[in-house]
Amino acid sequence: MSAFAAPKPRRRLLDGEAWLGLAFVVPIVILMGGLVFGPVIATLWDSLHRIDPMRPGTPFIGLAHYRDLMMDPNVRQAWLNTLAYVVIAVVLETVGGLAAALLLNEVKTGRRWLLAATILPWALPPVVNAIVWLWIYNPSSGLLNNLLKMVGLIQENHVWFNDHAMALFLVAIVHVWRMLPLTTVILLAALQSIPAELYEAARLDGAGPVRAFRMVTLPLISGGLAIALSQSTVFAFNLFDEAWILAGSSLDTRTIVAQVYMSAFQNMRFSYGMALSVLVMIASLVVSLVYVTRVYRETRYD
């Protein structure tokens, strides 16, 4: 054997498969840069200027818009409304979606038809869903008033959107009706990935249905739950169609996205609306980061 080992061949930086993967990734990066990152940077830059068609010039004003947003009572109310929508939507979609997924998981025949019927509200455009519910909430001829009078809960027609808390809840219900099917599908996929042998082992150990759900089901669908919670929160943060169609620009039900629209396109304060949209984007990213981190921790293998 030679005293001097033969030099190892120098490893190429990129082999053929790596170049192929890079060729697939580069167009996506360019597309994302042009359609996502570019507009985000432009919006952030414009939010630091005064862009107002009623006033000449676009001077640099720094963080003045962000300071004004902190003092704006309409923006503050829109944030509070949006927070209420997020809490109601996340709770109802998670609980309702998990219950629906558990029921669908137990169905052996006709599951595809039940699943198709469940997905229908999510498949319809949000404007269509909101218009249907606008008829349901109609104070004179709406289905809700008529049903409540039939069962004797009310004696005369009720104007549902006169009360602030009730209006928030009813708008949130319309959003939940549209988005709950997506949560159901996500959790149903997570449930179907659990091996049946684990439930048999739990029964042999004396675990009842509640304990099996707590010890087997919940830990194994935690990743799916995190994904469902993430999409529920982000979609609730960006709620617009339902609130706008059901109650218009009313401050009692106005969402933060509706406030962005009103600031930028109705009040013609473009850079002010851009600054608010940046804050909405940051809030959504922070929430998404929390959930994505949770999913990573639950799904990684040491």
pLDDT of residue 153: 84
pLDDT for residue 246: 92
Residues 196, 144: Cα–Cα separation, whole Å: 42
**Res 296: pLDDT:** 64
- pLDDT of res. 293: 78
Residues of the chain with pLDDT under 70: 1-16, 295-296, 298-302
Task: Tell me the three state secondary structure of residue 267.
Answer: coil
Cα distances (angstroms) measured from residue 12 to each of 119, 271, 293: 50, 50, 34
The neighbouring-strand residues paired with 60 are: 49
Contact 170, 158 (CB under 8 A): no
What's the pLDDT at 20? 80
Nearest to 190 by CA among 92, 88, 104: 104
Q: Taking the model in full, what pTM does it have?
A: 0.84
CA–CA dist 215, 202 (Å, integer): 9
Q: Is 64 exposed, middle or buried (0-12, 13-18, 19+ CB in 10 A)?
A: middle
Report d(CA 180, CA 119) in Å as an integer. 9
Closest CA to 52 of 280, 278, 265: 265
Q: Alpha-carbon dihedral of residues 222, 116, 143, 132, nearest 10 degrees?
A: 90
Taking residue 94's Cβ as centre, other Cβ atoms within 10 Å add up to 17
